[in-house]
Structure formats: C-alpha cells, structure tokens
C-alpha cells in the first residue's frame, strides 16, 4: 500500500509537456518569445496574463492549431513526453488525437445531435467501434463532464436546445470521449454565466486525475480556485512559473505581484 | 438642412421606392396574369401524354418536350452539381492562393456570359465533332450555365460556417478533407441545396443554348446522342408559328414551364429558411 502510493506520487511528478525555445509569429508580429516551460503529468496548470500576452497562442501551439492561421509561423520544439510534436515527419493530426481542446465558446457541430457530437471524435476519425461501446463512451464522457443527468433523456436532440453552459460541458465531454492525454482549455468559461462557470470549474477539478489539463484564463480568482501550477505571461514571455499557492502568496517577480494584485492587466 | 426639408426629402425618396416597386410588380403580374388566362384555357390532359401533331390535326401534346426538359436538366445536374460544389469548396477551404482567386474570378465571368455564346461554344465543341445535334450537347451547355450558380451558392454558404467549428474538428484529430465532408459541407448544406434549386429553375427556362445543341424532336427519345425536344424550344417554335392550335399549345407549355420554375423557386426558399443556427 505504502509503495503504491509512492509510485503514484512519482508518476504525478513526471513531465508531460515541455517546450524548448518556442517562438511564434503572426506574419511579422512575434507573439511568443523563447518559451521554455515544463508541465507535469496529471496536474492542472493555469496560464494567466493580460490580454494579448500570448496565452492563447501558446495553448494553440501545443496541438498545432496555431499554424492553421494564415501567416502564422513557429520555431522551436514542443515535447509530448519524448515526442517532438513539431517533427517534420509527424502528421499534426496524430498529435491532436492525443491532445484535446475546449474552446472559448461552445462550438458543437450543429449538423449532429448531442449523442453524435460526443462521439464525433470517432466519426471524424473513422474509428470503427460497436454500438454498445459507443453508448458506454457517451455515458462515461458526459458523466465526467458533469452533464449526464441533464441530457441523458435527450441525446438524440439538437445541441441548440442546450444552454451555453450545457453546450460547453458537452464540448468537454466531446474532447474527453477520445481519451486525450492532455486537455487544453482556452478560457472555457469566459462566455458563460457564474453558475455555469461554477459547474465547469467543478468538472475541471475532478478531471485532474484522468488528464493533464492546461487552462488559459483571464480570471485570477478562477486560476487560484482550480489550478495546481501557474504560468504567468507578459508580452509574449513567461515571467514566472510556480505552485499556485506560492505565486499568489509570495510571487518572486515584481511584475507578477503587480498583475495578481490588479495593478495592471 | 432643417428638419422639415429633411422630412420632405425622405418622403420623396420613399415615394420613388414605392413607385419602382409597383412598376416591377405590375409587369410581373401582367405576365403571370396573361400566362394564367391564356395558358390555363389551353391546358388539357392530351398535352401531358401525347406527342406533337402536324398543324391542322386537332389534339397533340408536348409530353416528349416535358420529358426532354427533365432529361436535359438531369444531364446538366450530373455534370454541373459536382463541379460547382467542388469549385466552391476549393475557393473557401483552400482559397488562400492565386489559383483560388482565379477560380472565383473565372466563375464570376462565366456567370455573366450570354447563354447563346455558351450554346455556340458547345455547338463547335460537341455538335460539330459528333456531326449531329444531341441531348448530350444540350445537357453540357446547360451544365456550363449551372456551374457558376452552384459555385457561388456553395462559396456563400460555406463562408457562413464559423471557423470555430472547423477548429473543433481539427482539435479532435480529424484531417482537413474529413472535416470538410463531415462537418463543413453538412453545416452549409441548406444553402447549397437552395443554390442547386435556383440553378435548375434557371436552366429549365433557357432556350438559346438549346437551339443549336439539342435542337428539337417530334418523337419520344431518351437517347443522349439524338436531338431531343424541350419545353423552351417547343414554345419558341410554336409561338412563332402561324397556326392557332400551335400558339395555344405554346401558351399552355409556357404555363407548365412557369409552374415548374415557380415550384423550384418556392422549394429553394423553403430550404433556405430551414436551419439557420449560426
């Protein structure tokens, strides 16, 4: 028993994601400057910082979505465990199957019902799975996202019937259904009301045991409530990285202190 | 300008708008009214089941022309719909380059070319090389008219699909082509279907490109390598003939054609109104 606990603890400290001299541009505008960070397995890391500091861009570099924007460019390396996801011979599609994403606004597929949306990762990747298994995946994912009870009787209905908060939780379920190792969340509650926000935060906290979560947020209270680690960014650079409790009680840099005490941003 | 002058100015402009509207509607109803009165009175069952008869002999119908118009539309659809949709998809989904810009530009130019020129083009390309008028040539001519309409409709409706939906699909690890097939096209389908309906309504009313491609025929025919009758060419021939019976048949045929086109337009409107969630 004692030993098992030890192993578990060690696994928690394993590195999941690491960047090496990561730089990113939109045309000639440099968004990210020499980012070197490391994210541990099964932790919840929050990226905070003022608007335009590159939080979202950094997040979108982790699943190679950044490069899809016309004019976008990247230099440097990002490692998912031992794999450099910017390796020239690597199909970005394979990376995105291992690293899921939840966006700022709910973006369910309106040409599919709720059930199909949850399993859309399987539909879109043509992965053949039995009906029973799919049913299980749908239930499990919706339960993990904390919305099963609200939608279980209307799985065949159109997603537009759901409220924004409910849709966002179905989006989380959709991302979880393909069992990603890392879940990226880009301000997932910024378009939602306080109650939906609270529910999603609750969901996120319980997910930590299953996946490594990286969340971008504008809301410092939210970062303090849910995260284990904080990455503070300013003007495209990482200023400070540390345990959430440390960053909020004893920040090492003046800039971090100014930001979390609300002096700018 | 003080308030009173502005108000008068506004009233005058509004008056001009209403006048233009009435002018437009007046001619539309005049045409439709004439068509209804003269078309309906000449309408009878033999029109739908009989072949044309020589002048002087009572009866006779345009059954073969109705079938011919449908057949020509089907040929045009088989060629025009896939090309139109694919071109639209290319412009929107892969449109970040010079070729896409040219595709859009050429499609717009194509939609402005007089249809009789398209007819001449197909005449030289197909009729002369096959050494005969044919349904195929007519269908090809109509498909060329269809393509830019469908391309435009596809382009417009795919542009309405929000980018966030594409990103959601990519983030799930879907390749681009599957994203297009499974997410983007279904999301824009109502607009594309509307475009296809309007394109059919448009080509069914075309006469000029058929005059020297599919020509005309007095017999039943489903062969693609033979001339074929169509409603529009029948109307053209009969309406300009000196015989009273033929002129009546022309009126009735016009009525049938107008009803088909009207129905297609109503269907198109119906589809356009369905699901607009974005």
Domains and CATH numbers, chain A: 15-260 (3.40.50.300)
CB burial readout B118-143, b (16+ within 10 A) else e: bbbbbbeebbeeeeebbbbbbbbbbb
Q: Is B46 on the interface with A (CB under 8 A)?
A: no
**Two tokens, residue B188:** 């824009």
The residues with which A102 forms a beta bridge, in sequence order, are: A185
Digit-coded pLDDT (tens) for A169-213: 999 999 999 999 999 999 999 888 888 888 889 889 888 888 999
pLDDT tier for residue B268 given thresholds of 50, 70 and 90? confident
What is the distance, to the nearest Å, from the Cα of residue A225 to the centroid of all Cα atoms in its chain? 16
| Ranges assigned E (strand) in A81-170 | 83-84, 99-102
3-state secondary structure of A13: coil
**Does residue B117 carry a pLDDT above 80?**
yes
**ipTM of the modeled complex:** 0.89
Cβ–Cβ below 8 Å for B168 and A105: no
Provide the sign of the torsion angle of the four alpha carbons B10, B11, B16, B19, taken in this order. Answer: positive
Q: B26: which 2 tokens?
A: 């007046």
Instruction: Please indicate if any CB of chain A lies within 8 Å of the CB of B173.
Output: yes
Find the closest chain B residue to A59 by CA distance: B171
pLDDT of residue B274: 67
Residues forming beta bridges with residue A182, ordered by sequence position: A99, A212
Task: Quote the DSSP letter at residue A236.
Answer: T
More confident site: A88 or B76: B76
pLDDT tens digits, A57-72: 999 999 999 988 888 9
Q: Quick check: helix, strand or coil at residue A221?
A: helix
pLDDT at A227: 93
Residue B76 has a pLDDT of 97
Is residue B139 pLDDT above 70, yes or no?
yes
pLDDT-wise least confident of A1-5, A57-61, A225-229, B209-213: A1-5
**pLDDT > 90 in chain A, percent:** 65
DSSP assignment, residue B223? -
pLDDT digits (tens, 9 = 90+) for A103-155: 999 999 999 999 999 999 999 988 888 999 999 999 999 998 889 999 999 99
List chain A residues with CB under 8 Å of B188: none
Residue pair A173/A108 in contact (Cβ under 8 Å)? The answer is no
**Cβ–Cβ gap A160/B172 under 8 Å:** no
Contact predicate A212/A39, CB 8 Å:
yes
Which residue(s) pair with A30 in the sheet? A25
Tell me the average pLDDT across B226-235.
Answer: 93
What gap in Å lies between CA A83 and CA A106, rounded to an integer? 30
A1 — pLDDT class (breaks 50, 70, 90): very low
Average pLDDT across chain A, whole number? 89
Residues of chain A in contact with residue B186, where contact means CB-CB under 8 angstroms, are: 111
Give residue-wise pLDDT tens across range B14-52: 999 999 999 999 999 999 999 999 999 888 888 888 888
Q: Give residue A69's pLDDT.
A: 87
DSSP state of A152: G
Cα-based torsion angle of the residue sequence B244, B246, B252, B255 in order, rounded to the nearest 10 degrees: -100
Phi-psi region of B193 (alpha: psi -120 to 50; beta: other; left: phi over 0): alpha
Q: Are strands A99-102 and A72-80 parallel, antiparallel or unpaired?
A: unpaired
Q: Which two tokens stand for residue B139?
A: 């269908």
Of chain B, the percentage scoring pLDDT greater than 90 comes to 76
Which among B96, B168, B170 has CB closest to A109? B168
Is the pLDDT score of A3 beyond 50? no
Choose among B172, B277, B231, B261: nearest CA to B52.
Answer: B231
Flag if B187 and A109 touch (Cβ within 8 Å).
yes
Average confidence (pLDDT) over A11-27: 85
B174 in contact with A, Cβ within 8 Å: yes
DSSP string computed for A39-74: EETT-EEEEE-STTSSHHHHHHHHTT-GGGSTTEEE
Distance from CA of A59 to the nearest CA of B (A): 12
What average pLDDT score do residues B189-217 get? 92
| pLDDT of B100 over the 70 cut | yes
B238: tokens are 């009969």
CA distance B91 to B86: 9
Name the pLDDT band for A218 (thresholds 50, 70, 90): confident
State pTM to two decimals.
0.85
Phi-psi region of A215 (alpha: psi -120 to 50; beta: other; left: phi over 0): beta
């Amino acid at each position: 028993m004692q030993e098992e606990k030890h192993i578990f603890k060690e696994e928690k400290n394993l590195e999941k994601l690491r960047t090496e001299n990561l730089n990113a541009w939109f045309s000639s505008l440099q968004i990210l400057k020499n980012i070197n960070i490391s994210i541990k397995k099964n932790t919840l890391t929050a990226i905070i910082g003022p608007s335009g500091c590159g939080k979202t861009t950094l997040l979108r570099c982790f699943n190679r979505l950044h490069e899809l924007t016309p004019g976008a460019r990247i230099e440097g390396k990002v490692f998912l465990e031992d794999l450099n996801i910017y390796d020239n011979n690597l199909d970005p599609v394979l990376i995105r199957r291992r690293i899921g994403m939840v966006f700022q606004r709910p973006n369910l597929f309106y040409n599919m019902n709720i059930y199909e949306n949850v399993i859309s990762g399987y539909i879109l990747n043509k992965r053949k799975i039995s009906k029973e298994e799919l049913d299980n995946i749908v239930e499990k994912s919706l339960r993990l996202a904390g919305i099963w009870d609200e939608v279980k009787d209307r799985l065949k209905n159109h997603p537009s019937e759901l409220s924004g908060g409910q849709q966002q939780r179905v989006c989380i379920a959709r991302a979880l259904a393909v069992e990603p190792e890392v879940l990226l969340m880009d301000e997932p509650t910024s378009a939602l009301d306080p109650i939906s926000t609270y529910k999603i935060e609750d969901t996120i906290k319980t997910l930590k045991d299953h996946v490594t979560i990286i969340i971008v947020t504008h809301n410092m209270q939210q970062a303090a409530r849910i995260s284990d680690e904080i990455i503070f960014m300013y003007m495209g650079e990482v200023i400070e990285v540390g345990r959430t409790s440390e960053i909020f009680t004893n920040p090492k840099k003046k800039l971090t202190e100014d930001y979390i005490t609300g002096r700018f941003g | 300008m003080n308030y009173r002058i502005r108000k008068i100015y506004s009233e005058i402009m509004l008056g001009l708008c209403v006048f233009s509207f009435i002018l437009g509607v007046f001619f539309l109803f005049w045409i439709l009214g004439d068509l209804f009165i003269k078309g309906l009175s000449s309408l009878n069952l033999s029109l739908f089941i009989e072949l044309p008869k020589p002048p002087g002999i009572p009866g006779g119908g345009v059954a073969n022309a109705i079938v011919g118009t449908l057949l020509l539309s089907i040929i045009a659809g088989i060629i025009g719909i896939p090309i139109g949709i694919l071109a639209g998809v290319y412009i929107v989904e892969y449109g970040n380059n010079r070729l896409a810009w040219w595709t859009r530009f050429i499609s717009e130019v194509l939609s402005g070319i007089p249809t009789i020129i398209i007819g001449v083009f197909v005449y030289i390309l197909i009729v002369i090389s096959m050494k005969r008028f044919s349904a195929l040539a007519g269908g090809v001519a109509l498909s060329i008219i269809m393509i830019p309409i469908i391309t435009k409709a596809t382009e417009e409706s795919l542009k309405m699909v929000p980018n966030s939906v594409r990103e959601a699909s990519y983030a799930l690890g879907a390749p681009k082509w599957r994203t297009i097939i499974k997410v983007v096209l279904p999301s824009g389908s109502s607009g594309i279907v509307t475009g296809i309906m309007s394109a059919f309504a448009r080509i069914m009313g075309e006469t000029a490109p058929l005059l020297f491609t599919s020509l005309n025929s007095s017999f039943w025919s489903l062969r693609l390598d033979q001339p074929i009758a169509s409603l529009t060419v029948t109307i053209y021939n009969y309406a300009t003939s000196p015989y009273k019976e033929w002129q009546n048949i022309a009126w009735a045929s016009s009525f049938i054609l107008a009803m088909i086109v009207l129905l297609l337009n109503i269907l198109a409107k119906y589809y356009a109104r369905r699901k607009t969630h974005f």
